[in-house]
A = this chain, B = another copy of it.
Amino acid sequence: MNERFPETPIEIGLAAAIVAVEGDAPQILVGHADGDDDGLPYGSFDPLAHQTLEIALRAFVADQSGLSLGYVEQLYTFADRGRHDRPNDGAPHVVSIGYLALTRVSAKAEERPKTAAFRPWYRFFPWEDWRGGRPAILDRDILPRLNNWASDRAAEKAETRARPLSRLERLRFCFGADAGSWDEEKVLDRYELLYEAGLVFEAGRDGRIGSTGPETARRFGEPMRHDHRRILATAMGRLRAKLKYRPVVFELMPASFTLTALQSTVEAISGRHLHKQNFRRLVETTAMVEPTGSQTTTKGRPAALFRFRRDVLQERPAPGLRLGKRG
């Protein structure tokens, strides 16, 4: 474990989940090669070429897609053996570091090469969009199979890894026991449960036991190359969580926007509807925006335009949270 040079060479890969919101659809930047599944923008890291990981990431994204990233956040480092769905063939072992980046959809779409395009993220995770009510795919397809998987006590006992929770407990934890206990932040937990149960395409592709085959599995959202859907799930969960305690939505908004547009962006990301009046009050009391003075001119009553108040970054400790005051 402590020798200096492991025999397998190691390659560091950077994968970026680059998010933008167009109207009420969150979009994710993907590259598609002919006949292959979509994948996140991806580059390998050469420590000689770049001072830090983040600099390298910005550089190769600019290179590949012409996008200049604003907000960037490191998500997670994955190094599972076999995650690059090739057997041990002497190729370098790939450790991949996932990133979340936020950007605005550019007016000049022509700047982007044809190999990369924004696609709605709910295509990859159809069960995560609750804005139209509880998604039908849950009760029609997913939960019956998951219940089936969870009640297979024999298979459960045969599992190698010891687990603190039973299959049924994990199912309840991820997908909610009763109505109203759906936690929109558990995107990754749900994806990993589906993977384990062999219900996503990637599970079959990677040779997981219990897979029900690609024909069936492809219906549970569109697959991605490598483990990129896992990285996207991480990004979605993190972004949904972060919305609640940091003013990151504004990274996705244009310089001025209506409150309705702000709300529908938040709803698009968190995948659920919010109470209009309460949302407006929340925004108002946190003093995160200020009116620009101008208005929109669409049909219906014109809406006042607002801009983000950058001062809140200093004024409020952490716009959102609490644990109890000192006493």
Contact = CB atoms under 8 A, between A and B. Distances in A.
Interface of A: 1-12, 43-53, 56, 59-60, 63, 74, 76-77, 79-81, 92-93, 95, 97, 130, 165, 169, 172-173, 176-177, 181-183, 185, 243-244, 270, 272-276, 278-279, 282, 313-318, 321-327
A219 B46 CA distance: 37
Contact of A6 (B48, B169, B181): B48
Contacts of A130: 326
A325 B63 CA distance: 42
Nearest to A169: B314
Given A1-B60, A77-B97, A278 B185 contact: no
Most buried by B among A47, A74, A165: A47
Contact of A79 (B2, B45, B275, B318): B45
Contacts of A173: 313-314
A24 to B, nearest CB: 16
A9 B5 contact: yes
19 contacts: A3-B46, A4-B44, A6-B44, A6-B46, A6-B47, A8-B47, A10-B11, A45-B79, A47-B81, A52-B79, A52-B80, A172-B314, A173-B314, A177-B314, A181-B315, A181-B317, A185-B318, A244-B322, A276-B327
B52 A81 contact: yes
A81 B54 CA distance: 12
A79 B11 CA distance: 13
Given A2-B43, A4-B92, A6-B11, 18 more contacts: A1-B46, A1-B49, A1-B56, A3-B44, A4-B44, A6-B45, A6-B48, A9-B10, A12-B79, A47-B81, A52-B81, A95-B95, A169-B314, A172-B314, A181-B317, A274-B324, A278-B327, A279-B324
Q: Which 10 A-B pairs have the closest CB atoms?
A: A275-B327, A183-B317, A47-B93, A6-B46, A77-B77, A244-B323, A53-B79, A10-B10, A172-B314, A52-B80
A93 B183 CA distance: 40
A79 B97 CA distance: 11
Nearest to A176: B317
Given A12-B79, A47-B10, A79-B47, A323 B243 contact: yes
Contacts of A313: 165, 169, 173
